[in-house]
Every structure is written in C-alpha cells, then in structure tokens.
Amino acid sequence: MSRAAGAINGFRGLPLLIALVSGASVGYEILLMRLFSIIQWHHFAYMIISLALLGYGVSGVFLGFCKGWLNARFERIFPGCILLFSLAAPGCFWIGQRLPFNPAELFWSPLQPLYLLTLYLLLSLPFFFAASAIGLTLFRFRGRVPAIYAADLAGAGLGCLAVIGLLLRLSPGQALIALSVINVAGLFLVSIVWKKAEWVWGASAAVLAFLWLAPSDWKTLHVSPYKELRQFLRIPGTRIIDSFSNPIAFTDVAESTVTPLRYAPGLSLGADREPPQQYAVFSDAGNMSALTRYNGDPATISYLDQTTSALPYHLNKPGHLLILGVGTGGDLLQAERFGVSSVDAVELNGQLIDYIKTRFDAFSGGTFTNARLRLHIGEARGFVAGTRQRFDLIQIALMDAFGASSAGLYALSENYLYTVEALQEYIRHLQPGGYLALTRWAKMPPRDALKLFATAAIALELSGIPEPGRQMILIRGWQTSTLLVKNGRVTMQDIGALKTFCEDRSFDIDYYPGVTEAETNRFNQLPESYYYQGALRILGPERESYLERYKFAIEPATDDRPYFFQFFKWTTLPEILSLYGQGGLSLLESGYIILAAGALQAVLAAALFIGLPMWLCRRRLGLPDYSTRLWRSIGYFFLLGNAFLFIEIAFIQKFILFLHHPVYSVTVVLCSFLVAASFGSAASRRLTDKRHGQFVPIAGIALLALCYILFFNHLTGVFLHQADSLKILVSVLLILPLGFAMGMPFPLGLQRVAQLSPGLIPWAWGVNGFASVISANFATLIAIHFGFNAVVLVAVGLYLTAVVCLPVIDSGGELTRKD
Amino acid sequence: MIYPTCVRTAILLFFFAGFARAETDAYARQRAAMVAEIEANMAQTAGLLGRKGLSAEVADALRTVPRHQFVEEEMQPYAYQNRPLPIGHGQTISQPYIVAVMTELLDAKPGDKVLEIGTGSAYQAAVLGAIGAEVFTIEIVEPLAAAAHERIAKLGLANIHTRTGDGYYGWPEAAPFDAVLVTAAASHIPPPLIKQLKPGGRMLIPVGDRFNVQQLVLVEKDPDQKVKTRQLLPVSFVPLTGTHQ
C-alpha cells in the first residue's frame, strides 16, 4: 500500500471529504429539483430525480461485486469518485438538457419514454459516484462506521444550508457549477496533506480549471419550447429585460414592443376595453402574470371591473382589504379601481416586490409604494395566523397558470391556503359583514370551485355556523369562478347587487341562498348546471355520497392532507383511458399518475438493479449462506431508509405550518434532522456493545414521534406569534432529540453486519440509499390518501419492524440459532 | 442482358411512378383509416357535442387533405395517427379527432367566411378550405407563417388567405365572419373578434396545452348581438357516476 493510502487510512481529512461529497450530493438533488422545475415542470422533477437516485442503489451492487479490487485501490478510487462526481454533476445535466424530452408528449410518442429512460441513466451517474465514494469508505473503515456515517449526515445537513445559500446569490445554473467547484476545491485542499498524492492535486487542479473555464453554455438553462416563456419569446418584438432568482423562484421579466401584451384572465365577454401597457413576469419560465401600467386614472383599468373577482366590491365597499399572494399586483390595481382606503398585502417572493418597487414604481403608478398599502413579505397563512387585525375583504386570487392547473401539475404540491383550517382562519379574521373572496379557474368538468365550495361549507360548519349555505355565493365566467364567504348572512340587498353585477357582465350565478336552477347556467352554459347541482348536494344531506360519486377527488383538503390540487381518483382511470382516441387523456390528473408511476418504477428498478444481481450472484458476492440473515439484514436497512425519510418529510410539512415559510422549513428541518442524526451516529458507539442496544433509539424515536403527533399544535402554538428567529430555535430544539435518535439505528446495524458478514456492508449502503429514494414517492402517496400523521405512524411501524429484523449476536459473539 | 439506356430509363421511371402511386395509395388508405377511427369516436360524443356524428362534408375534407404534407418529414410516418404532432417552434398540429370536432362545431358551409387566429401548419385551414369555406388565417410566429403560406401556395389552395402578425384585432377588411377559430392561446376573448363575428355566427376556442385540448369554448352571437358561451368537452364524459344528474 502506498504512503498516500496510509495517510488516508490515518483518517486525515477523510471525514471532511465524506461530509463534502455527501453535502454536494444532497445539494445536487435539491438543485436538480429547481433546475427541472424551470426547464420542464416540477412534477417531472420528482419523477426524474427519484430514479436518478437509483445511482445510490447501483453503487451498492457495484461495490458488492468489486469490493476487493476497489478496496485495494482505495487511494485512487476514492478521490477519483469525488472528481467524477464533480464533473458528472454539471456534465450530465448539460447532456440531459439536450435530449428532446417533452413530458406533454409522453402519452403520445413512443420515443419519449426512451428519452426519459436516458435521462434517468444520465442523472444516476453523479449519484453513483458520490455513493460509491461514501460506500467504499464505510466498507474499508468498517470499524469507524459511526464516525463516517456521522460525517455523511452532517455533510448532508450542511449541504442543504449551503445550496440555499448558493441559490440566494447565484442562478441555479451557476450554483450547479459552484457546487462542483466547492467539492473539488475541498479535495484539492485535503489532498495537500496526503503524501505522494500529487496526481490528486494535479487532477483536482485540472478539474477546477475546467469548471472555472466551463463554457457559458454549461450554466445556461434550455427551457422546454412548450413552456410559457419560450412561447412568449416567439412573438416578434419580445425580449427578456431582466432575470433574477432566489430559492423560491427564477423570475424573468419580458417586454413585447410590437404586439402589446394583453393579460386579463376571466374578462367578461362584454368587456370592450383592453388592458393598458403590460410587462410579462414569468416564474420558473411559466406561471405568467402581468405588471400593468397605471397612470392614476381609474378609468384606464376599468377592465378589472369586468372580472368575477370584482364582485365583492359591488356588495360591500371594503374599507380594509387583505390580499394574499399579491404577486405582480393585479389585485392591488383592482383595489385602486374601487378606491379602497387601506390595504394589507402579503407576498412570499420578496425579491419580486423589491424589483417592482425599484424598477417599476413609476410605471405601476406607485401601487406598491403608496401610503395606503402595508406590504408583508412572508407566507400568506402565516401572516393571517399572526395578525390580530380583521378585514372587510380578504382576497385570494389566481396564483397558478390555467394550463398547469388543469393538467393536474400541482397535484403533488402541498398547499396550505385552501385547507379547511385555513378557511376557518380567514373567516375568523373577517369583520362582521366582511367577505372572503376566492377566485379559481373554471375547469371543465368542474373541480376547483366545487372542492373550494365544499371546503368553505365545512369550514363554516366547524366555525359553528349551522347553515353555511346562507353565507355563500358562487359565480362563474367562461374562464374563472369566484366564491364568496360572508361573515354573516347574505341579505336580499346583496342578492340584488349580485344579480345586477352578473347580468351586466354575462357571468353566471351558480349559487346564492335561495337560488333556483332556472337562474343558473345562462351565459356560459355547461351541458348541465353542474355547479348549482354540486353546491346544493354539498350543502344538503347527500354531501358524502355526492363527493364519493364525483369522478374527481373534491373532498376538502385539510392541514394534514394539504393537497388541494389533487383531483385524481383511481376509479375514474379506466374510463379516462378508454377515451384515449378522443383526447381523453386531457382529463388525466397527470401529477398523481407521475407520482404513482415513479413509485412503481423505483420498486421495479430496485428489484432489477439490486435484488436480482444480489440473488443471482449471492455466492460469488460472498453473501452469507444463511438466507434468513441475509434477508433480515437487507430488510433492516430497507425499512430504515424508508422510515428515516418518512419522518423527515412529514415533519417538514408540520413545521411549514409553524415556520410559515416553505424554504425556511425545508432548510431548518432537513439540516437540523441531519446534523442531529450525525451526533446520534457518533454517539451510537456507546450502544454497540450492549446486547439490546438497538432497541434504545427505536424506542426513543417511537415515543418522540407519537408525542409530536399528539401534541405538536400545543407545543408550537405557544410560539406561533413570536419572532421568526425564536420559532426557528424552537423548531431546532424540537427536532434535535428525534434526529439524534434517528441517527443511531443505521450505524448500529452496520456494525452488527460488519461483525456478522462484512460482505453485506456495500449492500446495506445501497439498499438503504435506494429505500430513502423511493420513500419520497411513497410518503407523498400515503399523505395524499391518509395524511401526514399517518406517514409518521407508518414510519414508527417501519422502525419497530426494522429492529425486529436486525440479526442478533449471542453473548459470545456467535449467531443465535434463529439466524 | 444489357438494356439500352432508354429502356433502363423507362423501367426506372415506371418504377418510381409506381412507387409514388403506391405511396399515394398508402397515404389515402391511412387517411381512410383515420377517418374511420374519427367516425367511431364521434359516434360516442355526438350527443354531448350536439351533433349527429361526423358529417359527410367534414369526413370528405379529412379524406382529401394530405395531412402528411403539413408536418415535417420525420413526422410523416405518424401523420395519420390520431395524435397531435410537433411542428417546430413550440407548436403542434392538433389531433385529427379534435380537428374534426372543431370543424363540425364551427358548422362552416361552402362560401362561408372563416377567420382563424393561429395558423400553425395550416392543416385546420386546409380542412375548412376543403369544405368550401373562404378562410382568413393569421399566424404571429413568423417562420410558421412563412412555411404555412408556402405550403398553401404549393397545394394551390386559393380559398385560403394568410397573414403574418397579431390576431387580436382580427381581419377587419374581410369581416364579418360566419365563424372564428382562436387556436392561439389567449388570456381572454379579444373583443374585436367578437365584433367581427356575424350575428348567428360561432367562435370556437380550444383550451388546454399544446398536446391536449381540455375543453372547447363555443361562443355564439345571437341575431340580437348577444353573446353566450357553451363549454364543451370533446370526450364522452360526465363528471358524476351513477344516474346522470
């Protein structure tokens, strides 16, 4: 063995490198999610990444086959894997962007599944290299498993933080290169202390130079030609004037100098005035909204009185308005049009607001800077929970694009704006006689509006209103619907104003207390008065059977199952498939299908790439003859991988409602869990020699997780109105003990396996990694159907099953008979 | 045996002519099969769309228009499959079934004036032209508009008029129209287009992404100039199980 290898054997800098490569690998995963959300659509990001992480599993197989050969060349293979990861991370994404993969064509073209498969394989490569570096280290230094695993977890946790930091400063394309540069720079610095490792310095320096000088094309994103931004830019005279990004969104602002942009969704057919000059604003190359010129003359924006969302202004002129999700300010302009004297507006993307205030203040007529407005940067639900103000009108307008929404692309997005609990909260913040106004796309067949109607009815009932129908109004244009929920009964005067408003604008009344069917479905006719019929059934005794018989999932979303945009029902699938020739696939809620298909693919791939080679070559691989032990060990690591991620995913969601910021929550929860787990891993050494030591952390996990399910709202409720920094601190303190316990079972199991069958270590690594990959899909599926509490309960069950699976050693170090 | 040059040439010409004829026949057969498939699908959706099925006029038009000449060469093998196809520049040629449904719903008669916003490959315009309508079609994406213009000229479709540019204001010189088709994505229905629609005329707006039409919005202007819309699904689907409520 060379002296260089001896230095590595001496652990000099090795944990640091493990942490670096682990952090880079997690960072790459997060970056890929962002990158694919921009160049394609985010639900495909789920699918592609779940399979790309197959690289973890395959690395286990690879190490299992070649462990002897690789181990003998550790001093070359280990740095080689790090270098290859650093090159493959941007390189494979660059190649992947060149594939003509088009998700929208997936159901039509036989070539598209092949492109998708190629993408999987390509993106698996970086993960394969990273996992091989870590897995080989675990195998070679099996006596130091807790320390290595601790470095792996700590690195992963810090990697989350680092990538969010990078995304605050750089565009996602630049961040990808930066991630690789940091990784190689780390290798270069550590290898300086290695002896006779000149080739590592040289190779690291060469890779660094290559990445530094990488062609700008490596940092350029090639957005799908079918995304809104690319479609817009095909119009003569259009160009992007500004682009900026943060961890929430990549924003492009574009102008159209030849053909004016005229963005006015849901405009009445009777409208004869077009919008003033507008700039297009794209989020992640889609979700177009418009920034509209305002010269102070309300007549120039009179078109905003021709939309369904203008209804509440005609029923009760609001003195104090709250806009949730202000975006580019369409609702602010509408408030200007109606002369509202006091407005609070909430927006998550502070960067967008700063940009508009700085660059477009004059253009937007000071809409974002006038004294009547108080802007709050943060998550909408969090603002409402934290304020004690009450409003005459709370507006939640369209925040998603029609195309993406109606194709079910948001099915996998958790959304806490439209849950039963959220609506209860909004209603609590209304002045007596005030309105909550929710505008959604009017899809065909109806989905959103009916789901929202059911949500509001239940929210009112839970708020102690015995007859919710007396406080609700639903209207519809050809493109949008608006639901009003009043804090008080709808009066005859309200109904009179409602009828005049709708008649003048050719909008349909779908529901008000006392409406008759003859009054509905007049201007924008559906084959039947679906909305009216649905509203009556939702308010009547047939609610349950109606929701069950409806072919889309329109049961209200809750905080535990926050999937408002998930409309898919398995029972409808055969009918939709039978309509293929009529283009019936447009009825398919593709987000859910992708998720289910991704889970199935992942399981099949696991069986094919991990299970099958393992089974066929078990003797050659030096796997133990005791098949029970083999399967129990594999089962242990498979269950652990799933359980760890299940808990992590479920608690990210729980903390989103406490921290009220998706980015903060993901970062704080993930980082705290992983860093705490790394401490747990390091501390697990103390339990190694204890005969039943593996039960201790599992008991801790089960107890803490169950406590959190039962008392989470009580524990966090006390701090709900406190400063963000205190809430982050409370979150970290709540996560630490759970994460600490969760860091122990893996190294304890690995050390047990090292004692029994060292040949199993690479397999354990691969199986655990792969399980943690498929768990993301399965956790979401469970959450959609049963809620996040169920995800935690399943995780506890998996942990308990895992601990039973772990092979046992008797007091003399021999296997017990049952093994 | 050595053939004289003229004989060899004659054999080759005969061969290629036969090949071309065979190719034409093959496309004609594919077109007939495509129309048969559309007829079967239309039979299921006729009630929902308020039609009796695929009319003879539209079926004849679909049998006549060589769809393979409206797509890129590499897409020609798929031209007569009942699926949308990419035509470049982020645009598509609609699924033939949807083209048939839209043509039926527009209810254009020979001599009617039809305005189309979003020419694309000009296949839809050619089908409407084959019925005998006078079609005015506008495309904003310049390379697409140029290719469509060239294609229409090559096929000698004299009753189709093309224009490159913004379709928002329609084609005032040729207005009013018996039917208007808005295939270009729009956040709202341009008021000038409603004005250019004849009383009793129909405007159709397919809504969805480039590869899937999710619904069809049919705008009807009655003789009193009042406008109402009908939202139609191109598929035979009702949202509630059990009794049709």
**pLDDT tens-digit profile of A385-396?**
888 899 999 999
Q: How many CB atoms lie within 10 A of CB A503?
A: 12
CA A420, CA A427: separation in Å to the nearest integer? 11
pLDDT for residue A599: 81
Residues in chain A within 8 Å Cβ distance of B188:
262, 264-267, 271, 479
pLDDT at A713: 82
Distance of CA A747 to the CA centre of its chain: 29
Contacts of B235 in chain A (CB under 8 A): 579, 582-584, 586-587
Alpha helical stretches, state H, A273-406:
311-315, 330-337, 350-359, 380-386, 402-406
The predicted-structure confidence for A531-588, as pLDDT tens digits, reads as follows 999 999 999 999 999 999 999 999 999 999 999 988 999 999 999 888 888 878 788 8
Res. A623 pLDDT band, cuts 50 70 90? low
Q: Is the CB of residue B33 less than 8 Å from the CB of residue B80?
A: yes
CA A75-A76-A82 angle, 5° bins: 100
Average pLDDT, chain A: 87
Q: Which of B39, B235, B236, B241 to mutate to test the interface with A (most CBs of A within 10 A)?
A: B235
Enumerate the β-bridge partners of residue A511: A474
Q: Kindly state whether A536 is in contact with chain B, defined as any CB-CB distance less than 8 angstroms.
A: no
* Burial group, residue A771, by CB count within 10 angstroms (0-12, 13-18, 19+): buried
pLDDT at A493: 96
3-state class (DSSP) for residue A692: coil
Give the Cβ contact number of residue A604 at 10 Å. Answer: 11
- Residue B79's SS3 state is coil
Nearest to A108 among B83, B187, B207 (CB): B83
Least confidently predicted of A105-114, A367-376, A426-435, A658-667:
A658-667
**From the list A108, A442, A549, which residue is nearest B240 (CB)?**
A549
Distance CA B51, CA B35 (A): 17
Q: Would the CB atoms of A478 and B217 count as touching at under 8 Å?
A: yes
Between CA A202 and CA A705 the distance in angstroms is: 49
A445 prior amide bond cis, ω within 30: yes
Chain A segment 79-118 residues within 8 A of B by beta carbon are 102, 104-105, 108-109
Nearest CA in chain B to A272: B191
Residue B191 has its nearest CB partner, among A226, A272, A533, at A272
Q: Which of A240-249, A469-478, A712-721 is modeled with the greatest confidence?
A: A469-478
Cβ <8 Å between A406 and B208: yes
Measured between beta carbons, the chain A residues lying within 8 angstroms of B231 are 442, 444, 478, 524-526
Helix axes A627-659, A761-786, angle to 10 degrees: 50
Are A779 and A649 within 8 A, CB to CB? yes
Flag whether residue A517 sits within 8 Å of chain B, measured between CB atoms: no
pLDDT of residue B242 exceeding 80: no
A446, A551, A583: residue with CB nearest B95: A583
Please indicate whether, in this complex, the C-beta atoms of A105 and B86 are within 8 angstroms of each other.
Answer: yes
Single-letter code of the amino acid located at A82:
I
Residue A589 to residue A566: CA distance in whole angstroms: 8
The angle that helices A198-212 and A172-192 make with each other, rounded to 10 degrees, is 160
**Quick check: B14 pLDDT over 50?**
no
Instruction: Quote the pLDDT of residue B20.
Output: 46
**pLDDT reading at A40 higher than 60:** yes
- The CA distance from A288 to the nearest CA of chain B, in Å, is 10
Q: Is the pLDDT reported for residue A17 higher than 80?
A: yes
**What phi and psi values does residue A480 have, to the nearest 5 degrees?**
-130, 160
Hey, what long-range contacts does B224-228 have (CB within 8 A, 24 or more apart)? B224/B199, B225/B199, B227/A269, B227/A270, B227/A506, B227/B194, B228/A269, B228/A506, B228/A522, B228/A523, B228/A524, B228/A525
Contact (CB<8Å) A269/B237? no
Which of residues 553 through 592 in chain A touch B, CB cutoff 8 A?
Answer: 571, 575-576, 579, 581-587
* Chain A neighbors of B227, CB-CB under 8 A: 269-270, 506
Chain B nearest C-alpha distance from A511 (Å): 17
What 3-state class would DSSP assign to A329?
A: coil
pLDDT at A26 over 80: yes
Helices and strands of chain A, counted as H and E runs: 31, 13
What per-residue confidence (pLDDT) applies to A594?
A: 78
List of domains in chain A: 1-223 (1.20.1250), 228-287 (no CATH), 305-554 (3.40.50.150), 622-819 (1.20.1250.20)
How far does the CA of residue B90 sit from the closest CA of chain A (Å)?
5
CA distances to A196, A597, B113 from A111, rounded to whole Å, are 50, 18, 40
Angle, nearest 10°, between helix axes A145-169 and A111-140? 130
CB A359 within 8 A of CB A242: yes
Q: What are phi and psi for residue A268, nearest 5 degrees?
A: -60, 150
Question: What letter does residue A718 receive in the DSSP assignment?
Answer: T
Instruction: Report percent pLDDT > 70 for chain A.
Output: 93
In order of start, what are the domains of chain B with their CATH numbers?
Answer: 9-232 (3.40.50.150)
Which of A609-618, A646-655, A693-702 is the least confident region?
A609-618
pLDDT band at B48 (very low <50, low <70, confident <90, very high): confident
Nearest CA in chain B to A267: B188
Query: B185 and A443: CB-CB below 8 Å?
Result: no
Greater model confidence, A617 or A231:
A231
B151-175 pLDDT, tens digit per residue, is 999 999 999 999 999 999 999 999 8
Statement: residue B18 has pLDDT above 60: no
CA distance A135 to A746: 13
Tally the C-alpha atoms within 13 A of residue B214's C-alpha that lie toward its C-beta: 24
Which pLDDT does position B225 carry in this prediction?
81
Of the listed ranges A610-624, B35-49, B216-230, the least confidently predicted one is: A610-624
Range with top average pLDDT, A489-503, A628-642, A750-764: A489-503
| The pLDDT of residue B115 is above 80 | yes
Q: Which residues contact A705 (CB under 8 A, 6 or more apart)?
A: A647, A738, A792, A795, A796
Strands B113-117 and B177-182, sheet pairing: parallel
Cα–Cα–Cα angle for A442, A444, A446, rounded to 5 degrees? 65
Model confidence band, residue A53 (pLDDT cutoffs 50, 70, 90): low
- Which pLDDT score, from 0 to 100, does residue A695 have? 86
pLDDT level of residue A624 (50, 70, 90 thresholds): low
The answer to whether residues B115 and B183 touch, using CB atoms and an 8 Å cutoff, is no
**DSSP for A549-578, written as a single string:** HBSS--SPP-SSS--TT----GGGHHHHHH
Task: Classify B206 as helix, strand or coil.
Answer: strand
Q: What is the mean pLDDT of residues B74-99?
A: 91
Give yes or no for residue A518 having a pLDDT over 70: yes
Span A678-689, average pLDDT: 85
DSSP string spanning A608-660?
IIIIHHHHHTTTTTT--S-HHHHHHHHHHHHHHHHHHHHHHHHHHHHHHHHH-
CA distance B145 to chain A (A): 12
What is the average per-residue pLDDT within B84-90? Answer: 89
Using a CB–CB cutoff of 8 Å, tell me whether A530 touches chain B.
yes
Catalytic residue check, B94: yes
Q: Is pLDDT at B11 greater than 60 in this prediction? A: no
User: CA-nearest residue of chain B to A110?
Assistant: B78
- Chain A residues touching B82 at Cβ < 8 A: 581
- Per-residue model confidence (pLDDT) at position B129: 95
Tell how far CA A54 is from the center of its chain. Answer: 20
* φ/ψ (deg, to 5) at A172: -55, -35
- Check pLDDT > 50 for residue B2: no
Identify any residues that bridge with B137 across adjacent strands, giving them in sequence order: B116, B162
Contacts of A448 in chain B (CB under 8 A): none
Residues A65 and A796: their CA atoms lie apart, in Å, by 33
CA angle, residues B169, B170, B175, in degrees to nearest 5: 125
CA neighbor of B242 nearest in space, from A534, A448, A545: A545
For residue B87, the distance in angstroms to the closest alpha carbon of chain A comes to 11
Measured distance CA(A747)–CA(A688) in Å, rounded: 9
Q: Kindly tell me if the per-residue pLDDT of B71 is higher than 60.
A: yes
Residues of B in contact with A258 (CB under 8 A): 166
| Structure confidence at residue B23 as a pLDDT band (50, 70, 90) | low
Distance CA B129, CA A54 (A): 53
- To test the contact with chain B by mutation, choose from A478, A548, A569 the residue with the greatest count of B C-beta atoms within 10 A, namely A478
- Measure the CA dihedral A601/A604/A606/A609, to 10°: -110
What's the pLDDT at A3? 38
Q: How many other C-beta atoms lie within 10 A of the C-beta of residue A10? A: 11
Report residue A758 as tokens. Answer: 């060292």
Catalytic-labelled residue, pool B55, B94, B121, B236: B94
- The CA distance from A264 to the nearest CA of chain B, in Å, is 6
Residue A627's pLDDT band, with cuts at 50, 70 and 90, is low
Is any Cβ of chain B less than 8 angstroms from the Cβ of A444?
yes
Asked if residues A746 and A681 have their Cβ atoms less than 8 Å apart, the reply is yes
What the block records as the tokens of A696 is: 């201790």
Determine contact: A236 vs chain B, CB below 8 A.
yes
In the prediction, which pLDDT does A622 show? Answer: 63
Residue among A156, A121, A134, A100 at smallest CA distance from A51: A121
Who has greater pLDDT, A628 or A403?
A628
From CA B61, how far away is CA A659, in angstroms rounded?
A: 61
pLDDT at residue A686, as a whole number: 81
The answer on pLDDT for B13 being more than 50 is: no
If one counts every other C-beta atom within 10 angstroms of the C-beta of residue B51, the result is 16
Q: What is the pLDDT of residue A809?
A: 63
Instruction: Tell me the two tokens of residue A742.
Output: 């969760």
